[in-house]
Amino acid sequence: MFLDTDFIPPKYTQTVEKGNFKWTAPSNIALVKYWGKKENQIPANPSVSFTLNNCKTITKLAFAKKEDSLNFSFDLLFEGQSKEDFKPKINKFFERVAHYLPFLKDYHFTIDTENTFPHSSGIASSASGMAALAMNLMSVERQLYPAMTDEYFYQKASFLARLGSGSACRSVKGQVVAWGNQANITGSSDLFGVEFPYVIHDNFKNYQDTILLVDKGEKQVSSTVGHDLMHDHPYASTRFAQAHDNLDKLITIFESGDLDAFIKVVESEALTLHAMMMTSMPYFILMKPNTLEIINAIWKFRNETKVPVCFTLDAGANVHVLYPKNVSEKVLQFIQDELVGYCQNGQYICDEIGNGANQL
Ligand code: DP6
């Protein structure tokens, strides 16, 4: 079992004056949802996600030794422009990880970041953004301590990303990533995401995710607030137990390739997530009328055609349409014919399972 203290590094063996790195990290889509957390970004239940391929953040990190080591010092650029309003979030992240990255106050950093997906598309960039930043910081640490193993590098990157945003720990490495202690997943941890360690049937190879952009507006309730409302939530303990059950079911489903069973788990998870929001106090709704129109249209299409397409939702109104590669043509035609009209400005993004972060 890993402890927080495993991520406090040994004394660095090298000194480095300056340098720069560039990493991309993808977004991910949860199949079993993380909703509710304890102190220090420990999830209330385990979750599992598909790593995406096209929706990603690209982050360049330049660093240079500074005179003193009193404070954090960094500039933040988003698409080449200084972005003051992102700074508090990064500052908070630095505070959370400083204990594990003792070099942080020794350098001035320039963080230059951009996303491949339209900004304000309602796609959460916190997962890909925090993962990309964590990868860069681990590259710095590896220069200071070259003896570090690859395993430690990726594990700690996920650990750090989690402290930035929980779901970000699932955007580091692997196509299917589990996060949170689960008795039946060897090596699983509340502290970092792990590549799903068991057999995955060919049915899930190249799985497709077409993201329908239903509403690009600011969310009325942030994920942070939503997670918080799971404390004292009347259904919390049942929900957390259900997440464990659903993850166990997925272990079997990934092996057998049973798409009907997959669809049941995934759609139930999506609706349960939103049911938790609707039954919080205060209660809230993030789905929009068009979210429901799309869900109903998918159900009708699936019933009529038997094409194994399903949906999931994250903490917003957008719909992720999930389907195997071999039915892409039919599903994309269906999206064009029947779903595009429900998207804001007809916008959607075609994505698929990917492998995680990459150094550029
Ligand atoms: C609905 O990871 O954004 O997407 O840890 O507070 O940053 P913080 O929350 P965040 O929550 C994601 C919630 C979700 C489900 C999921 O990705 O598992």
Say yes or no: 175 and 251 in one domain. Answer: no
Note whether residue 360 is domain-resident: no
Q: Which of 142, 170, 198 is the last residue of a domain?
A: 198
What is the signed CA dihedral for 331, 336, 339, 342, rounded to 10 degrees?
A: 150
Note whether residue 358 is domain-resident: no
Say yes or no: 73 and 173 in one domain. Answer: yes
- Could you give the CA distance from residue 50 to residue 355 in angstroms, rounded to a whole number? 9
By most ligand atoms within 8 Å of CB, the mutation choice from 92, 223, 240, 250 for ligand 1 is: 223
- Could you give the CA distance from residue 249 to residue 241 in angstroms, rounded to a whole number? 13
From first to last of the 360 residues of the chain, give the pLDDT tens digit: 889 999 999 999 999 999 999 999 999 999 999 999 999 999 999 999 999 999 999 999 999 999 999 999 999 999 999 988 889 999 999 999 999 999 999 999 999 999 998 766 667 678 999 999 999 999 999 999 999 999 999 999 999 999 999 999 999 999 999 999 999 999 999 999 999 999 999 999 999 999 999 987 767 788 889 999 999 999 999 999 999 999 999 999 999 999 999 999 999 999 999 999 999 999 999 999 999 999 999 999 999 999 999 999 999 999 999 999 999 999 999 999 999 999 999 999 999 999 999 999
- Cα distances from 9 to residues 12, 17, 57, 93, 145, in angstroms, run 8, 19, 27, 18, 9
* 258 Rama sector, left if φ>0, alpha if ψ -120 to 50, beta otherwise: beta
Say yes or no: 106 and 191 in one domain. Answer: yes
Q: How many domains does the chain have?
A: 2
The number of the ligand 1 atom at minimal distance from the alpha carbon of 33 is 18
Say yes or no: 181 and 229 in one domain. Answer: no
Say yes or no: 218 and 73 in one domain. Answer: no
Q: Which of 167, 198, 229 is the last residue of a domain?
A: 198
By most ligand atoms within 8 Å of CB, the mutation choice from 31, 34, 318 for ligand 1 is: 34
- Could you give the CA distance from residue 164 to residue 192 in angstroms, rounded to a whole number? 12
For position 121, what pLDDT does the model report? 65
How would you label 119-134 residue by residue, b for 16+ Cβ within 10 Å and e otherwise?
eebbbbbbbbbbbbbb
Decide if 130 contacts 161 (C-beta within 8 A): yes
Q: Which of 181, 198, 215 is the last residue of a domain?
A: 198
Secondary structure element (H or E) that encloses residue 58, with its range? strand 47-65
Say yes or no: 225 and 125 in one domain. Answer: no
Note whether residue 357 is domain-resident: no
- Cα distances from 104 to residues 23, 65, 72, 84, in angstroms, run 18, 10, 7, 20
For position 221, what pLDDT does the model report? 82
For position 267, what pLDDT does the model report? 98
Say yes or no: 296 and 155 in one domain. Answer: no
- Could you give the CA distance from residue 319 to residue 294 in angstroms, rounded to a whole number? 8
Q: Say if pTM beats, i.e. exceeds, 0.75.
A: yes
Decide if 132 contacts 23 (C-beta within 8 A): yes
Say yes or no: 344 and 274 in one domain. Answer: yes
Give me the domain span that covers residue 125. 4-198
Decide if 59 contacts 136 (C-beta within 8 A): yes
Pocket lining for ligand 1, CB < 6 angstroms: 30, 33-35, 41, 47, 124, 126, 165-167, 223-224, 227, 273, 314-315
Say yes or no: 110 and 48 in one domain. Answer: yes
Q: E strands within 161-245?
A: 176-179, 193-195, 208-212
- Cα distances from 228 to residues 127, 280, 315, in angstroms, run 18, 10, 14
Note whether residue 46 is domain-resident: yes
Note whether residue 116 is domain-resident: yes
Separation of CA 269 and ligand 1 centre (Å):
14
The number of the ligand 1 atom at minimal distance from the alpha carbon of 29 is 17
Separation of CA 15 and ligand 1 centre (Å):
36
Say yes or no: 217 and 167 in one domain. Answer: no
Say yes or no: 152 and 278 in one domain. Answer: no
For position 120, what pLDDT does the model report? 62
CATH code at position 57:
3.30.230.10
Note whether residue 55 is domain-resident: yes
Say yes or no: 35 and 159 in one domain. Answer: yes
The number of the ligand 1 atom at minimal distance from the alpha carbon of 47 is 18
- Could you give the CA distance from residue 146 to residue 124 in angstroms, rounded to a whole number? 33
For position 2, what pLDDT does the model report? 87
Note whether residue 86 is domain-resident: yes
Note whether residue 178 is domain-resident: yes
Separation of CA 324 from chain center: 21
Separation of CA 166 and ligand 1 centre (Å):
6
Separation of CA 31 and ligand 1 centre (Å):
12
Q: What is the DSSP letter of 77?
A: E
CATH code at position 241:
3.30.70.890
